[in-house]
């Protein structure tokens, strides 16, 4: 997205596509480009319509929250991230793309472990700390969308294939527990506590030990 101060923060991805990305691709049509951390239906549609040398990463948290989760009923700094979460229609477009099986889309968590004093202040840092519960959250999303069979490709196969890398040969197993999986609300660090992303729902999927 563009970072020009006068451009509305919710329009910056669309403006970037129109004023930067599209002209660049017209000048260099063979250039392989990753649109990192897509947050809008505009971005999803642009990638869908483009040739095979354009792909996009999608974060865990943008599949779960929209801008209301940040702003309604009081400011929730631990949902504030950049690119900022957009309206619900964009979240739905992201979920559709992520769970579609389209190899142009893959996970890019953008997990950001900012300590609480840097989030809960007058000018807080942007970012959601999702590393600890990303797989549980994603399994929940893909289950809701009836696409559990496409989760591995989104998290582990599409990205390496796009970058010309072999997939990781190590394997993990996700299991669905009978009771919700409990994650710590905070992780203590030497610099202070870090709040773990709250997906709003109760996750039942867990990484088998």
> Across-strand partners of 187?
194
109-123 tens-digit pLDDT: 999 999 999 999 999
Q: Report which secondary-structure segment, H or E, holds 106.
A: strand 105-107
Q: Is 206 a catalytic residue?
A: no
pLDDT band at 168 (very low <50, low <70, confident <90, very high): very high
The β-bridge relationship of strands 174-176 and 105-107 is unpaired
Every domain of the chain and the residues it spans: 12-207
Fold of the domain spanning 12-207: TIM Barrel (3.20.20)
Angle 117-123-125 from CA coordinates, rounded to 5°: 60
Looking at 110, 116, 149, 206, which residue is catalytic? 110
Average pLDDT over residues 170-196: 98
The β-bridge relationship of strands 186-189 and 192-195 is antiparallel
Using the predicted structure, report yes or no on whether residue 57 has a pLDDT greater than 80.
Answer: yes
């Amino acid at each position: 997205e563009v970072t020009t101060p006068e451009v509305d923060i919710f329009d910056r991805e669309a403006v970037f596509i129109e004023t930067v990305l599209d002209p660049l691709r017209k000048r260099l049509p063979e250039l392989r480009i990753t649109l990192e951390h897509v947050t809008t239906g505009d971005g999803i549609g642009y990638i869908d319509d483009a040739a095979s040398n354009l792909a996009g990463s999608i974060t865990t948290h943008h599949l779960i929250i929209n801008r209301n989760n940040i702003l309604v009923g009081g400011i929730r700094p631990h949902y504030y991230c950049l690119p900022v979460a957009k309206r619900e229609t964009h979240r739905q477009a992201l979920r559709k793309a992520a769970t579609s099986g389209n190899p142009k889309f893959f996970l890019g968590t953008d997990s950001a472990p900012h300590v609480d004093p840097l989030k809960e202040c007058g000018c807080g840092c942007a970012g959601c700390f999702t590393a600890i519960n990303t797989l549980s959250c994603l399994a929940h999303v893909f289950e809701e969308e009836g696409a559990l069979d496409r989760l591995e490709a989104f998290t582990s196969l599409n990205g390496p294939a796009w970058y010309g890398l072999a997939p990781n040969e190590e394997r993990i197993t996700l299991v669905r527990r009978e009771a919700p999986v409990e994650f710590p609300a905070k992780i203590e660090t030497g610099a202070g506590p870090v709040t773990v992303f709250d997906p709003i729902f109760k996750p039942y999927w867990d990484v088998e030990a």
